[in-house]
Amino acid sequence: MKDTNVVSIPRPERKKSEIQARAPRSGKVRCISRHGFHNVAYRDWGDKAPPNKILCVHGLTRNAHDFDALAAELSKQSRVICPDLAGRGDSDWLSDPADYNLLQYNMDITVLAAKFGYESFDWIGTSLGGLMGIALAGIENSPIRRLVINDVAPEIPFTALSRVTSYTGSNLLFADLDSVERHLRETLAPFGPMTDDDWAHMTQHSALKAEGGYVMHHDPGIMQNFRRFAVFMHFSLWRYWEKIKCPVLILRGSKSDFLTESLLARMLNSLPQAEAIEFEGIGHTPTLNAPSQIEPLVEWIARSRSDPSV
């Protein structure tokens, strides 16, 4: 990728997990859908009263623990809230799978932000979390002050949709955690960088004990609307993207099938304030758990915060 707004960072070799053993607080907030109330769980890192506030929102079938390493670093200067979206992790499953959609997710996040009294905050979103951020940042009076989009564009290539829908949303039963880890290593092979410790950490927080073994720790119903988008709709958030006014950083894996070079170029051309960092040798998605990915992200946030106009 050759562009003056894109910084390319080589893929590092890591010998051990960088996850810090700093315990965050945890809690739940009550939200509402068309069909009733549900609880959204979150992990709460850092001092309770810092001037800087960050929300980190995970990908489609993932959970808040994906940000453990990043949140531990960011919490040195900020309060960092990492929710489990409805249907994932420790959050409740929704009674009607049709309610798993961007509007519902962002209404839940709005309730979460209100719980902490946040009128504005920075947003870091991976994949689905990035789409949510685009939709929120592109509307009038958005609370998002800075937006970090991790490996997703305002539209999703059909080949990427097909790949994801081929392995998600099924009721797989695994005999043991080793089987879960093998499944994750196979289906999430483009993730990076990942050490053996990282895979073990992901497995621990991606598996749920069930009768006869383990299942994935999310509601299979979350795929219902996602598959409908793939088959029946041309999913596009460009109208939101083009209205974003806050500083934007786009992160891309150089081998990503979700955020292609052409999509990244269009994003940069249509939003003058956007910048990009590309991680070499990584697919969808950069995991943001190694210094080579965390440090440039932290530096960008600090530089953006030093701008008095933001």
Looking at the 3D structure of the chain, how many domains does it have?
1
Q: How far apart are CA 301 and CA 246, in angstroms?
A: 12
The CATH number of the domain holding residue 41 is 3.40.50.1820
Query: pLDDT tens across 206-217, in order?
Result: 999 999 999 999
Task: Evaluate whether residue 99 is within a structural domain.
Answer: yes
Task: Evaluate whether residue 193 is within a structural domain.
Answer: no
197's enclosing H/E stretch is helix 196-206
- Whether 229 shows a pLDDT value over 80: the answer reads no
| Mean pLDDT (whole number) for 61-85 | 97
- Whether 19 shows a pLDDT value over 50: the answer reads no
Task: Evaluate whether residue 274 is within a structural domain.
Answer: yes
Expressed in angstroms, the distance from the first to the final Cα of the chain is: 29
Distances (CA, A) of 91 to 94, 103, 309: 9, 17, 37
- Whether 78 shows a pLDDT value over 80: the answer reads yes
How much is the pTM?
0.91
What counts of helices (H) and strands (E) characterise the chain? 10, 11
Q: Which residue has the higher pLDDT, 18 or 234?
A: 234
| Mean pLDDT (whole number) for 148-175 | 87
Task: Evaluate whether residue 217 is within a structural domain.
Answer: no
Distances (CA, A) of 52 to 28, 94, 280, 293, 306: 21, 32, 30, 20, 12
Task: Evaluate whether residue 208 is within a structural domain.
Answer: no
DSSP 246-291: S-EEEEEETT-SSS-HHHHHHHHHH-TTEEEEEETT--S-B---SH
Q: Which domain holds residue 263?
A: 6-155+235-305
pLDDT at 254: 97
